[in-house]
Amino acid sequence: MRTSNSSGLWLPIFAGLCASLVSIGLARFAYTPLIPSLIQAQWFSANDVVYLGAANLVGYLIGALLGRPMAHRLGNRNALRLMMLAVTAAFFACAYPLSVSWFFGWRLLSGIAGGAIMVLVAATVLPHVPAARRGLASGAIFLGIGLGIAGSGTIVPPLLTLGLQATWLGLGALALLLTASSWFGWPADTAHAAAVHGPSADEPTPPGVYLLFAQYAFMAAGLVPAMVFLVDYVARGLGAGAHVGATVWVMYGLGAIVGPVTYGFLADQLGARAGIRMVLVVQAIALGLLAVTHSFLALALLAVILGSFPPGIVPLALARVHELVPSHHRQQIAWSRATVSFATFQALAGFAYSALFNASGGQHSLLFMIAAGAIGVALLLEQAMRWLPAATQTGCAAN
């Protein structure tokens, strides 16, 4: 049963936006501008800060694995509420740096919540949205990630003027407000969402889905360098200074806000497969240009394009899952596995790029070229998908 009235349609979407904003947008990306202050205030050493940042990525992978079992036990709606409360508690707990292990545990928990929410939020909301509007709706849900990226450069600096502890408490208060605002917006679990067994559970997974998993993994590897090293590249690599670097990051955040809805619209209008192909071509070109560009205007434009990718590719990949797998239950399984694939390669790529950056003496351009190569591999996998027989790409229509 789908929700027909306007308020009934948008309340679940708003709840989904709040969930992605709290659990990924704020929990992951608000940490980045806090890193210098954590070191300067001597809360932790520079090495510990990097280690603590990795805790969220590791937790994200764990959460992606645990999301569906958790929903089976608690129901989607209760699991999502619990995970948002967990992130909120982690913000408040991080205001008190009792020890590295204390901080690591809470950062790990916030990552677990983010991974679980990423797996569950679309499966909870989209069954209540008309099929023709699901691309746009999923873009609106994952807009929260983009808002978090943009907010990391606008909310955190004013909070830091009040002190580091006040910043964590302020983020906790914002997360609590968003959790409360979305509490009654979640739709009731549908029979499909609650089902664990059924005729579709025994059907084979179409080969095209496995190719999508591989594509999504290489997309994750391709987005990491710009997401992690863009500001440092502009500020130190090009010698433009911290102010210009911060300005470019704001443009990246602007792209992150525009990306999810734009990419979701592409999925609705062109189809997810064509949309993914177009986006991958643009991203590969943008990464290649980033490696050789020194002009501020060009860097700002590239930052918008690259910033649209991390949150924007989520609704596109989700729409592709829906194209490939007609059965609702199998869609949940496929999306969970896609998220695990993405989370695994994102975490591995984060460590690998950092090691390569140190080993190469800080060669930013090398990282961007490798990232462009990863996007190129994703494009080649798209070509491989075109060689598959049509019946094996989409599965059986008898679902």
**Burial of residue 344 (number of CB atoms within 10 Å: 0-12, 13-18, 19+):** middle
pLDDT band at residue 219 under the 50/70/90 scheme: very high
- Model confidence pLDDT, tens digit, residues 302-312: 999 999 998 88
- Model confidence pLDDT, tens digit, residues 38-95: 877 888 876 777 778 778 888 888 998 898 889 888 888 899 999 999 999 999 999 9
Q: pTM for the full model?
A: 0.78
pLDDT at 188: 80
- Model confidence pLDDT, tens digit, residues 228-268: 788 778 877 888 876 787 788 888 888 988 888 888 888 88
In angstroms, the CA 332 to CA 126 distance is 11
Q: Per-residue DSSP letters for 57-115?
A: HHHHHHHHHHHHHHHHHH-HHHHHHHHHHHHHHHHHHTTS---HHHHHHHHHHHHHHHH
Full set of structural domains in the chain with CATH: 1-184 (1.20.1250.20), 204-399 (1.20.1250.20)
| DSSP 3-state of 129 | coil
What is the phi/psi pair of residue 323, to 5°?
-70, -40
- Closest Cα partner for 18 from 135, 117, 91? 117
pLDDT band at residue 387 under the 50/70/90 scheme: low
pLDDT band at residue 187 under the 50/70/90 scheme: confident
Provide the CA 162 distance to its chain's centre, in angstroms. 29
Query: Could you give the dihedral angle defined by the CA atoms of residues 76, 80, 86 and 90, in that order, rounded to the nearest 10 degrees?
Result: 140
